[in-house]
Structure 1
Amino acid sequence: MPPNTTATTGDKPGKSGRKKGRKARLIVLVLVLAIIGGIAYGAYWSISTVRASFPQTKGSITIKGLSGPVTVKRDGYGIPQIYASTDEDLFMAQGYVQAQDRFYEMDVRRHMTSGRLSEMFGKGQVKNDEFLRTLGWDRVAKKEYDTKLSAATKKYLQAYSEGVNAYLAGKDAEDISLEYAALGFVNDYKPEQWTPVDSVSWLKAMAWDLRGNMQDEIDRALMTSRLSAQQIKDLYPDYPYSRNKAIVQEGQYDGLTKTFQQSGSGSTSGSATSTGTSGSSTSSSTGSALTSQLAGLYNVLDDVPTAVGVNGQGIGSNSWVVRGDHTISGKPLLANDPHLSASLPSVWYQMGLHCTTVSSKCQYDVTGYTFAGMPGVIIGHNADIAWGMTNSGVDVTDLYLEKLSGDGYLYDGKVKPFTTREETIKVAGGTSKKIVVRQTADGMPLLSDRDDELVQVGKKATVNTAAPDRGDGYGIALRWTALDAGTTMDAVFAIDKAADWSEFRDSAAQFDVPSQNLIYADTKNNIGYTLPGKIPTRASGDDGSIPAPGWDSKYKWTGFIKQDELPYEYDPKRGYIVTANQAVVDKDKYPYTLTTDWGYGTRSQRITDLIESKIKDGGKISTDDMRQMQMDNSSEIAKLLVPKLLKINLDDKDVREAQKLLEGWDYTQDSDSAAAAYFNAVWRNILKLAFGNKLPKELRVKGQCLWVDKIDSTGPVDDDTKVRECGERDADQAQPDGGDRWFEVVRNLMNQPNSDWWKTPAGVGDRNKADNMNDLFKRAMVDARWELTAKLGKDIDTWSWGRLHRLFLKNQTLGTDGPSILQYVLNRGPWKLSGGEATVNATGWNAAGGYGVVWVPSMRMVVNLDDLDKSKWINLTGASGHAFSSHYTDQTGKWADGELLPWSFTDKAVDSSTSDTLVLKP
């Protein structure tokens, strides 16, 4: 959903009286809300204009197309459980119910995936649309629907669409959601009918945000302009396999050899070799052309709207499963909490899909989390199995520097023509714009065409003699598995009805994009892990770690790893499996290079240690133990650094006072901890001093330092009193984000206390230059003391981590750049949070931009395979996308406190928790 959507105000002469009426109603609505906002929240409910868009949840509604009655039971949090007698009726009802709660969100999502945001929000979204049209997600989705998906999947998608459209029938836009009243006021926007391709396209947006190492690929290439090969290696250390265990330790891959212990590290046809081998070859054929093109692309990518993540950066997730021999119940427990952007409403939608009688006519009895706009359940459980997901991080994207010549590009010494297509971007309240999209013969879009300045730089760029010298300039093209038609939608429906490990793994094999770590448990006390996905193989010498020369065919992908050659693990002897974005398998025990850029295993090893501490000496784990593990706030980097920091001699009594906060601190980042506040400020300043002025300025993180509205009981504050949600920094200075890669960087450099990385010039005032690690740590402690004095006050007794580490939930459309009163109406917060970067309770913050929460556990769940009704779940926000619904953010407070809600599954449990019942009649 677009973070920079702008709703302009005003009306053009000559518009209909109806539109003027809409404008009048909106003005009245905004005025009333402004007046009563400071009086009583409950007064909102008296406004009929707002309530008109709320879903009907009781009584009955007649819907054309159903073959029989469907019952929708909602609990006290508005979470629906749907009961039907056929598959088609079940998914049609799912579409209807999701549209009741979230259609505006669904509508924005499909405009993003199809590159049509300008039709809703005007000229401010044209650049984004140009880039999204170039990627062509909706075109790929249509090809999937037409040529790849099964007949059953198409039937379910069509039924879902019919349900959405049944909800839209006869409704004016302002009757659907408050936001449409604002859009209608501006441009007379009217939503279109829903289509199956609208649902499939969302998988492409999800894949984009979870695309793996493309950002690292760009960063490494840009670093070559300023850093040596050894310095770059310092900043991208090897994965610590001996300290942080890989996911698969006892697993198999059928197509090669039976066990990893037998496999060794021999190469297989099409596999990549050791990390970094492509560096010299690629860097010798690029020079200033690659640097200039990537620097421009960096800026283009930074502005692309996010779907579920933070533009591919900083995203993680936790999932783990414990077999019954280690649990109190004697059956498995499975936990999952994906870490995604903090969005309002939450990216997830909770629901249950139940056939009144499971049979060939109606095959589903499943519950869990899905996306508004998509049928089926993405993560959850059915009557037999449970499953969870984390992003695998495997390398499925490569950037190519293309040598342009006339209307084509150079390939093995010959000029090949681009495939082109013309796209027309319609603009609300403005003039349409046409663009031309160019693709290579492999279907790679030329991303650099989407920035005028980038095109000019490409034409003028020069490179060293290792690059071809003919033609007109250079451009950047993208090879990405998600641009090929796939079968992920088939996988969703197949997993939802899988009954055992064999069926689950066969179903998961169809989940080609985005590649995910899938964990599994069943009611028969089995657990497992499998890595599905369409994962490319590369020629020997190319590991995909940096952009490749597109004019040389030896850098072309050689194929894809076969599904039966991908790692999996079933019922390991240790009795548990942990996935948290760490390495899937030890690189010396698997013949393919899956990626060079795993997460560094900080969270996964902490979870493993927590499990081991519980089960040692025969201990057993409960559902609540799993919940408490999810809320673990321990800082691994603090455990490493604090003993060093406590040895630093400090002359300034005020800085010494702050240092004393760290004495006896247990490294737990609770929201009320002053020690956590000070330590994280020290950590941020260590990164800034050691690396900030030494990285290429092109790596600076944009969009993280923002002025945000302070929201309190009296309404939004004036612009001059908005809250700064990041630290001050030099706009021309790059800074590390502070993730667990930087944990590993600093850990390694601590063994080199006189490394040049620790050396800095003198600071402002009396801050001395740093000649070694201890000097730099001392200066960081001083700087952190005065930074927090400015932010939190001189009295350290008033300091707390939660005052720095706050979550603001902003509606991702009009809540970002719409009129200020609408932002106040649509947004919520702040919440003071515990946790932090690379903790299990991963309330992530970006050290390049400040301490505010950037990504979060977007939901949490614990499935109890002994008694499914004893499972627990929570969502970041609530079921509803309607700003004044009681279910808009009714789960957020409990989420912030680490609570989980009861998760009913059986008929008896659902009936017991039902508050409202709606019958949909044919």
Structure 2
Amino acid sequence: MHSWIRWTRRLLIGVAVLVSALAIAAWLTLRASLPLLDGDIAIKGLSAPVRIVRDAGGTVTIEASNERDAMRALGYVHGQERFFEMDLMRRLVAGELAGLFGPAALPTDRAHRKDRLRERVKANLEAALDGRRDVAQAYADGVNSGLGALSARPWTYVLLRQAPRAWRIEDTPLVGYAMYYDLQDASDARERSLAEVLPHLPQALRALVTRDGTSWDAPLEGAARGDASLPGAKDIDLRGWSTAATRLVREPSRREVGSNNFAVAGRLTADGRAILADDMHLGLRAPNIWFRARLRYADAAAAGGHVDVNGFTLPGLPGVVVGSNTHVAWGFTNSYGDWVDWITVPGCTVAACPQARTYRESIPVAGGEDAALDVQETQWGPIDRFDASGNAVARRWVAHLPGALNLGVLRMARAASLDAAMRTADRIAIPAQNMLVADAAGRIGWRLLGPMPQRSSGCNAAGVSDGAACPPWPISTAHAPMLVDPPSARLWTANARVTDGDDLRRIGDGGYVLAVRAHMIRDDLAARSRFTERDLLAVQLDDRSLFLQRWATLMHAAAASTRGGSALRALDLGP
């Protein structure tokens, strides 16, 4: 008996020691993978010493002698603190996640590999770098220096039993393309769903579904559309509809969106400078997709011979994406224009498609054999499917075309005025955004930023086009819709329709959100005649739900006239 107790005690002690050893090993591994926050380090390639400082909130300030050194240091910081997230973005875009996660990631890789974005980046790398190869290379070298300086690989790679892959200069544009997947409907699922549903709807219901506005509309140009008329019993009689089982067509779920930006001109502020507020909301993730930083460096091409730019960086990209440089401030919201078209390819069927080129893609799979994927491409784009008649339907997406993305946004750090910022915007290629600019002279402006399709009259932006009438359209970042120095001295955008007329026809409708937020922002700005930064912050923090107040009113009316009213009256639904 005593022997059994003795051996049990020894076993428990042994297990405890083993668990403790494993816990200590895990802690040491995690600690070894953390970035260096204090001390002096040597980074290969710097032309002069660089100072990196973090404030209490973790925001990084980089002080350097020139832009290349600043970007090398920014790459170092990103490589130490965010490399795994950067790796995920480049792999997501290139269809290479299975090389890290195994077969479970193959469906995503197959979907994205059809876009062949890594090959497109390689073919147009110099244009994507926008003449900033030296800056992009310095950034990539900094990323690899930061990763290499860690005492251990990031803990996520330890869990996956993988080694991180070095950052290459071509990976930087891929991170930019990750924003195309975040901000645009790459599969054009909304239009595809509508195309399948609309032919089966009565005219009155079709008019309701395709209504392009409501009484909430608050565009910068044009007027509110007003609410659609609800079909009556004479228009829709569900009793006559077939109850036979049929295939359901579902619009893919879309994450809640909520980006806002707004600005007031200097004539409404105490010191004559314009004020800009911007809050960009992408999908929630940890860590946050953005990385706050301030970059200060000498630059002969900038006003005063130096740059002091403060704002949000995107790990994987050099420079500040949105922010302020003491002369101008700029911010974005997603535009929700129509950037994808469907085209029936002439003479291309299930049986034969002589004008298509087939690419054999090989997808590495961790722990398994490489997966093969054949991608057929036409002059309009990759073949997505074949219609009921067997004709090939190609997908033409802005992101597939040369010039869809570049590092032009880096040049905003040098802009010294609103006019300079707008000229710079002519060259910037990112997923199309509503850009607001405010400058120290008190001026404000809105511009659609990014490449837009240059469709011919034979192209149907809202449906499937016949390739015989719709030649492959090019894209352009120049001559975009804009509004500068509005008479109201106020500007706002919030993912809803911004303009009207010819400009709206150029932009199209990619699924604008209900304009409740834009409506509230417009009214909040109109309610004041003078503004401070705190006043704009109060607009950002406005948490009223005016849209739901209408429903609350209806529910109270129902409560007053129905037998179940007592239960509804017990709810706190007061407007």
Shorter-chain TM range is 0.7 to 0.9
Q: Report how far residue 652 of structure 1 moved.
A: 8.2
Residue 205 of structure 2 corresponds to which residue in structure 1?
Answer: 231
Residue 161 of structure 1 corresponds to which residue in structure 2?
Answer: 140
Using the alignment, how far apart are the partners of 1:398 and 1:49 within structure 2?
49
Contact persistence 2:429–2:477 (CA under 8 A): no
Residue 432 of structure 1 corresponds to which residue in structure 2?
Answer: 370
Residue in structure 1 matching 2:349, options 399, 402, 405: 405
What per-residue deviation string (whole Å, max 9, x for no partner) do you get for residues 771-806 of structure 1? xxxxxxxxxxxxxxxxxxxxxxxxxxxxxxxxxxxx
Letter in 2 for 1:446: I
Residue in structure 2 matching 1:656, options 557, 566, 571: 566
Match of 1:192, SS state, is coil
Describe how 1:809-828 pairs up with structure 2 within 5 A.
none
Residue in structure 2 matching 1:631, options 526, 541, 544: 541
Contact persistence 2:516–2:547 (CA under 8 A): no
Residue 517 of structure 1 corresponds to which residue in structure 2?
Answer: 434
Describe how 1:369-768 pairs up with structure 2 within 5 A.
369-402=312-345, 404-405=348-349, 408-409=352-353, 416-442=354-380, 444-448=381-385, 458=386, 462-463=388-389, 473-486=390-403, 488-540=405-457, 542-549=459-466, 552-560=467-475, 563-564=478-479, 566-587=480-501, 590=503, 592-596=505-509, 597-615=511-529, 620-649=530-559, 656-662=566-572, 665-666=574-575
Match of 1:643, SS state, is helix
Residue in structure 2 matching 1:206, options 173, 179, 182: 179
Letter in 1 for 2:376: R
Contact persistence 1:29–1:49 (CA under 8 A): no
Using the alignment, how far apart are the partners of 1:374 and 1:59 within structure 2?
25
Using the alignment, how far apart are the partners of 1:56 and 1:206 within structure 2?
29
In structure 2, relative to structure 1, the CA distance for the partners of 1:243 and 1:433 (3 Å cut) is: closer
Q: Report how far residue 359 of structure 1 moved.
A: 2.7
Using the alignment, how far apart are the partners of 1:488 and 1:248 within structure 2?
28
Q: Report how far residue 590 of structure 1 moved.
A: 4.4
Structure 2 segments unaligned to the other structure (5+ residues): 1-14, 224-245
What per-residue deviation string (whole Å, max 9, x for no partner) do you get for residues 145-167 of structure 1? 2345333x111110000001112
Match of 2:568, SS state, is helix
Q: Report how far residue 130 of structure 1 moved.
A: 1.5
Using the alignment, how far apart are the partners of 1:314 and 1:47 within structure 2?
37
Are positions 1:178 and 2:155 aligned together?
yes
Residue 333 of structure 1 corresponds to which residue in structure 2?
Answer: 275
In structure 2, relative to structure 1, the CA distance for the partners of 1:558 and 1:144 (3 Å cut) is: closer
In structure 2, relative to structure 1, the CA distance for the partners of 1:134 and 1:54 (3 Å cut) is: same
Q: Report how far residue 202 of structure 1 moved.
A: 1.5
Contact persistence 1:87–1:363 (CA under 8 A): no
Using the alignment, how far apart are the partners of 1:622 and 1:99 within structure 2?
38
Contact persistence 1:491–1:509 (CA under 8 A): no
Using the alignment, how far apart are the partners of 2:450 and 2:301 within structure 1?
29
Match of 1:383, SS state, is coil
Letter in 2 for 1:182: L
Residue in structure 2 matching 1:220, options 185, 191, 194: 194
Match of 2:281, SS state, is strand
Contact persistence 1:425–1:433 (CA under 8 A): yes
Residue in structure 2 matching 1:359, options 300, 320, 341: 300
Residue 68 of structure 2 corresponds to which residue in structure 1?
Answer: 88
Contact persistence 2:295–2:309 (CA under 8 A): yes
What per-residue deviation string (whole Å, max 9, x for no partner) do you get for residues 821-854 of structure 1? xxxxxxxxxxxxxxxxxxxxxxxxxxxxxxxxxx
In structure 2, relative to structure 1, the CA distance for the partners of 1:447 and 1:230 (3 Å cut) is: same
Match of 1:61, SS state, is coil
Residue in structure 1 matching 2:30, options 41, 46, 50: 50
Letter in 1 for 2:546: E
What per-residue deviation string (whole Å, max 9, x for no partner) do you get for residues 11-67 of structure 1? xxxxxxxxxxxxx9xx9589749xxxxxxxxxx9x9323211111111101111111
Letter in 2 for 1:514: P
Letter in 2 for 1:359: A
Using the alignment, how far apart are the partners of 1:52 and 1:491 within structure 2?
37
Residue in structure 1 matching 2:284, options 339, 342, 346: 342
Q: Report how far residue 584 of structure 1 moved.
A: 2.5
Structure 1 segments unaligned to the other structure (5+ residues): 1-23, 34-43, 251-290, 303-309, 410-415, 449-457, 464-472, 667-922
Contact persistence 2:216–2:514 (CA under 8 A): no
Letter in 2 for 1:239: G
Match of 1:569, SS state, is strand
Contact persistence 1:367–1:382 (CA under 8 A): yes
Using the alignment, how far apart are the partners of 2:21 and 2:399 within structure 1?
42
In structure 2, relative to structure 1, the CA distance for the partners of 1:556 and 1:211 (3 Å cut) is: farther
Residue 795 of structure 1 corresponds to which residue in structure 2?
Answer: none
Q: Report how far residue 132 of structure 1 moved.
A: 1.3
In structure 2, relative to structure 1, the CA distance for the partners of 1:649 and 1:655 (3 Å cut) is: closer
Contact persistence 2:379–2:472 (CA under 8 A): no
What per-residue deviation string (whole Å, max 9, x for no partner) do you get for residues 73-101 of structure 1? 00012211001102111101000011111
Letter in 1 for 2:122: K
Using the alignment, how far apart are the partners of 1:159 and 1:232 within structure 2?
55
Indicate the structure whose relative CO is greater, using CA pairs within 8 Å and at least 6 residues apart.
Answer: 1
Using the alignment, how far apart are the partners of 1:233 and 1:560 within structure 2?
31
Letter in 1 for 2:492: V
What per-residue deviation string (whole Å, max 9, x for no partner) do you get for residues 628-657 of structure 1? 211212223223232222121579887623
Match of 2:449, SS state, is coil
Contact persistence 2:350–2:392 (CA under 8 A): no
Contact persistence 2:127–2:403 (CA under 8 A): no
Letter in 1 for 2:542: D
In structure 2, relative to structure 1, the CA distance for the partners of 1:53 and 1:223 (3 Å cut) is: same
Using the alignment, how far apart are the partners of 2:410 and 2:98 within structure 1?
33
In structure 2, relative to structure 1, the CA distance for the partners of 1:327 and 1:657 (3 Å cut) is: farther
In structure 2, relative to structure 1, the CA distance for the partners of 1:193 and 1:607 (3 Å cut) is: same
Number of residue pairs the alignment of both structures matches: 532
Match of 2:311, SS state, is strand
Are positions 1:143 and 2:123 aligned together?
yes
Q: Report how far residue 134 of structure 1 moved.
A: 0.9
Match of 1:504, SS state, is helix
In structure 2, relative to structure 1, the CA distance for the partners of 1:660 and 1:401 (3 Å cut) is: farther
Using the alignment, how far apart are the partners of 1:519 and 1:29 within structure 2?
55
Contact persistence 1:103–1:176 (CA under 8 A): no
Contact persistence 1:332–1:523 (CA under 8 A): yes
Q: Report how far residue 358 of structure 1 moved.
A: 4.0
Using the alignment, how far apart are the partners of 2:431 and 2:177 within structure 1?
8
Letter in 1 for 2:465: A
Q: Report how far residue 391 of structure 1 moved.
A: 1.0
Match of 1:417, SS state, is coil
Contact persistence 1:581–1:598 (CA under 8 A): yes
TM-score normalised according to structure 1 size: 0.54
What per-residue deviation string (whole Å, max 9, x for no partner) do you get for residues 117-136 of structure 1? 11100011112111211111
Match of 1:196, SS state, is coil
Q: Report how far residue 522 of structure 1 moved.
A: 0.9
